[in-house]
Structure 1
Amino acid sequence: MTCPSGGRMLRWLVLYTALGIGANAAAAGEIDWQAAHEGGLAKLAQTDPTPVPATEFTDPEGGTHSLADYKGQVVLLNFWATWCAPCREEMPSLDALQAEMGGEDFQVVTIATGHNPPAAITKFLTETGIENLPLLLDPRQKLAREMGVLGMPVTVLIDRDGNEIARLIGGADWASETAKTLIRQATAP
């Protein structure tokens, strides 16, 4: 036998549970992919969350790094090369995005992929005015190959758990309000 107040209690419990689940989903950083496409990131393709490889890459001093170093942060990973004309156009907007939004929750990570001599990298960064991006290298294209990068530039959005959630092949204006909104949505608690 159940009392009437027990039925109401169960309904309230179901309601509060549903509200709690809904609130948690909203807090997880829902991304409005359609708005991103309409706002200028038309080539951005949402992907099924896929763990990124643990493949190491280097810095100019020979230090080794991996994408696992950024776990807990949202990462905008960009594969570029000194000989890539669209990379030259895109890189200043990535630099501006890092300057404005980079920090504890978010990083723009740029990796020079393939044959990029140090002198060519220095010249490229100087000519494009890059000041805020890391200098990381994938000279044998091992990480790029494992991530299915066939041309450049390619930019991959990685969630806090180390999963690829979107990819853009070609250049984009990463300093645009649309891109900043995308990053704010991806980093929302």
Structure 2
Amino acid sequence: MVLGAVLATPFAPRPAGAAGSGGNGAHRIREGRRPLPDFTFLEADGTSRSAKDFQGKALLINLWATWCPPCVAEMPALDRAAGILAPEGFSVLPLSSDRGGANQVRGFYERTQVKNLPVVLDPRGAAARAFGARGLPTTIIVSKAGEEVARAEGEAEWDDAQILAILRRLA
């Protein structure tokens, strides 16, 4: 699949009639550069962090919740992708909007055998608002230079070879 043609309009919504599910989700990755908004999130221990704390690293910021079926469906692939990309200096930040806090996310990780993802929280939706997310899951790809270079709305198979190649190219 040639992504340039699909991704001609940065951050454009999916064309009318495009498939809403199936495939690896690469068609949902919309490239385009924009400054990274200022936002904070919480680590499991309550420490406040921001994307600026990851300066010089590529980031995949996934906005999700345990009550969101497409989020739950993509979480195992996101976990595997995090394990694959970590040695390459690519961090995955799954920002949970669950109001139940770290314990709710930890319980979900235990039940679903998530092993490579940190527990990070956005219970007030600050990151979702800062990015102008239209729904969950929304994933933001941030380059090592610290700018948003692409985003995806909806479920994707993050460990798919084609998607991993896109992420590496965008880093």
TM over 0.5: yes
Paired position in structure 2 for 1:122: 106
Q: Secondary structure at the match of 1:103?
A: helix
Q: 1:39–1:173: structure 2 CA closer, same or farther, 3 Å change rule?
A: closer
Q: Secondary structure at the match of 1:65?
A: strand
Paired position in structure 1 for 2:26: 41
CA distance in 1 between partners of 2:6 and 2:164 (Å):
10
Paired position in structure 2 for 1:51: 35
Structure 1 residue 95 corresponds to structure 2 residue 79: yes
Paired position in structure 1 for 2:54: 70
Q: 1:34–1:83: structure 2 CA closer, same or farther, 3 Å change rule?
A: same
Alignment gaps of 5+ in structure 1: 1-31
Q: Write the letter of the residue equivalent to 1:134.
A: P
CA distance in 2 between partners of 1:106 and 1:34 (Å):
23
Shift of 1:58: 0.7
CA distance in 2 between partners of 1:139 and 1:92 (Å):
22
Q: 1:34–1:57: structure 2 CA closer, same or farther, 3 Å change rule?
A: same
Q: 1:162–1:144: structure 2 CA closer, same or farther, 3 Å change rule?
A: same
Paired position in structure 1 for 2:164: 180
Shift of 1:122: 2.4
CA distance in 2 between partners of 1:98 and 1:36 (Å):
25
How well do the aligned residues superpose, as a CA RMSD in angstroms? Answer: 2.2
Q: How many residues align?
A: 155
What do residues 10-48 of structure 1 show as CA deviations (whole Å, max 9, x unaligned)? xxxxxxxxxxxxxxxxxxxxxx7349879751111112x
Q: Secondary structure at the match of 1:96?
A: helix
Paired position in structure 1 for 2:15: none
Shift of 1:114: 4.6
TM-score by length of 1: 0.74
CA distance in 1 between partners of 2:109 and 2:160 (Å):
21
Shift of 1:92: 0.7
Q: Secondary structure at the match of 2:166?
A: helix
Q: 1:36–1:153: structure 2 CA closer, same or farther, 3 Å change rule?
A: same
Paired position in structure 2 for 1:12: none
Paired position in structure 2 for 1:167: 151
Matching residue within 79, 85, 106 for 2:90 = 106
**Structure (1/2) with the larger helix percentage:** 1
Q: 1:39–1:172: structure 2 CA closer, same or farther, 3 Å change rule?
A: closer
Q: Secondary structure at the match of 1:102?
A: helix
Greater radius of gyration (CA): 1
Shift of 1:120: 2.7
More off after superposition, 82-91 vs 101-110:
101-110
Any conservation in 1 of the 2:102–2:121 contact (CA below 8 Å)?
no
Structure 1 residue 81 corresponds to structure 2 residue 51: no
| Runs of 4+ residues deviating >6 angstroms | 35-39
TM-score by length of 2: 0.81
Shift of 1:153: 0.5
